[in-house]
Amino acid sequence: MLFCILHSRALVYTLINILSIACVGLCSKPTLESVEMSQKRLLRNLLWATSKHDVYLMQNYSVMHWSSLLRKGKEVLNVAKPIVPSLNRPGLLSQQLSRVQISTMAVKENLMVAGGFQGELICKYLDKPGVAFCTKLTTDDNAITNAVDVYRNPSGAMRVMAANNDAQIRIFDAETFASLNRFSFDWSVNNTSVSPDGKLLAVLGDSVECLIADAQSGKVTSSLKGHLDYSFSSAWHPDGRILATGNQDTTCRLWDIRNLSESLAVLKGRMGAIRAVKFTSDGRFLGMAEPADFVHVFDTESGYVNCQEIDLFGEIAGISFSPDTEALFVGVADRTYGSLLEFNRKRYHQYLDSIL
Ligand SMILES: *[C@@H]1O[C@H](CO)[C@@H](O)[C@H](O)[C@H]1NC(C)=O
Ligand SMILES: *[C@@H]1O[C@H](CO)[C@@H](O)[C@H](O)[C@H]1NC(C)=O
Ligand SMILES: *[C@@H]1O[C@H](CO)[C@@H](O)[C@H](O)[C@H]1NC(C)=O
Ligand SMILES: CC(=O)N[C@H]1CO[C@H](CO)[C@@H](O)[C@@H]1O
């Protein structure tokens, strides 16, 4: 098991900004049905950076855009009000929604996708007014949408994926929002992630095993054995070879896709489950977050040995590296003292240049 070894050169991301934002994550009054879920407060993916200056996050009943440059926020979507989808044609599952409590979200390439505690799915283009598509994916009790993702399939077409507590994964076209596919599993799916080439799908949830499936057909091709508890989060290294899985057993395991017979390494946090894992787009760092207080940044080039531990105070609503890897944002959820922490990447060569 690899514990974080603090190394003087491992201070990679330094804190440069704290924006105080009340109610990051969920602070809306839960409806009766979602009380139980909200109490568990499975905060994980309520923050996305689309550039080092642009962050999208959930605040109360709104999706907000924060400009870290202007230090200003702007409401992008209010989900307390009724939401009327603009696309509506026969055969489309679209449906009006209101008072949605957002459970998870993803923002990629101008498309914002959010999931709700009662099985809702909302898709909005950031450059267009209104909501393109929204619906209730399932009417099952306890139907929470656990995971939403936007990705490109092997031929480059954009897709939206949603995973729900009804043990199903649903795939939609990201332009027409036509329902394309549905894969069923034996347990609640809490997280999925598609490999960078769009071919493989990691499926994680209420099982000690994680699955690798064909992203097109949903056919399971391998089962990853090693974790001791249920899994929450996953991320692919941009080279497509390594998959990281975050688990309730307080570890993150790394798997080499060429040999899945056992995990390559086990990364250990401080005390909590590993709720979020993300690689930087250059593959150099792996960030992992616990439910509260700790974020760890591992240097992949040191074989995941050197690591920076970020110690903060509060529940973590999400972590996100900017696509250029220059910034790391951490959302701290709190009704009153919520905040968005901004870290900047330190360049050691520049530092060395300056003392030479
Ligand atoms: C949260 O949103 C609801 C609905 O818009 C509003 O009534 C309430 O005052 C908001 N709470 C806070 C703390 O902003
Ligand atoms: C896969 O890894 C296991 C454990 O490290 C090893 O015993 C096995 O020989 C490897 N298989 C191949 C095909 O390399
Ligand atoms: C799965 O977890 C990872 C890491 O927290 C996150 O980046 C990703 O968006 C999640 N996938 C879905 C489909 O929510
Ligand atoms: C490991 C884990 O978090 N499992 C959760 C998956 O999601 C459902 C619904 O959100 C929870 O009930 C599980 O506890």
pLDDT along the chain (356 residues), means of 10: 62 87 70 49 83 93 91 92 88 88 92 94 96 92 89 96 93 95 94 96 96 96 96 96 97 97 94 95 96 94 92 92 96 87 82 45
What local confidence, expressed as pLDDT, does residue 354 receive? 46
Token pair recorded at residue 348 = 């050691």
- Cα–Cα distance list, 295 to 110, 211, 261, 274, 287 (Å): 27, 26, 29, 9, 7
8 lines ligand 2 (CB under 6 A): no
Is there an atom of ligand 3 within 6 Å of 320 CB?
A: no
The answer to pTM > 0.95 is no
Ligand nearest to the CA of 275: 3
* Ligand 3 centroid to residue 234 C-alpha, Å: 6
pLDDT at site 162: 96
Distance set, CA 32 to CA 53, 115, 142, 214 (Å) = 37, 18, 11, 38
pLDDT of residue 356: 40
The 10 Å Cβ neighbour count of residue 200 is 20
Residues 6+ apart with CB under 8 A from 90: none
Rounded-to-integer distance, Cα 22 and Cα 336, Å:
5
Distance CA 53, CA 66 (A): 8
3-state secondary structure string, 229-252?
A: CCEEEEEECCCCCEEEEEECCCEE
Give long-range contacts, CB 8 A cutoff, 24+ apart: 216-225: 216/153, 216/154, 218/169, 218/181, 218/183, 222/260, 224/253, 224/255, 224/260, 224/263, 225/262
Position 122 scores a pLDDT of 97
Give start and end residues of each alpha helix (H) in 22-142. Answer: 35-40
Q: Does residue 225 line the site of ligand 2, with CB under 6 A?
A: no
pLDDT score recorded for residue 244:
98
**Ligand 4 mean position, distance from CA 298 (Å):** 26
The CATH number of the structural domain formed by 27-184 is 2.40.128.630
- The pLDDT assigned to 115 comes to 95
Q: Is 192 in the pocket of ligand 3 (CB under 6 A)?
A: yes
Q: What is the pLDDT of residue 352?
A: 47
Q: Return the pLDDT at 20.
A: 84
> Which residue lies with its CA nearest to atom 14 of ligand 2?
259
Q: How far is the CA of 60 from the centre of ligand 1 (A)?
A: 6
The pLDDT assigned to 40 comes to: 53
> Ligand 3 within 6 A of 327 CB?
no
Alpha-helical runs (H) found in the chain: 35-40, 348-355
Quick one: tokens of 312? Answer: 């903060």
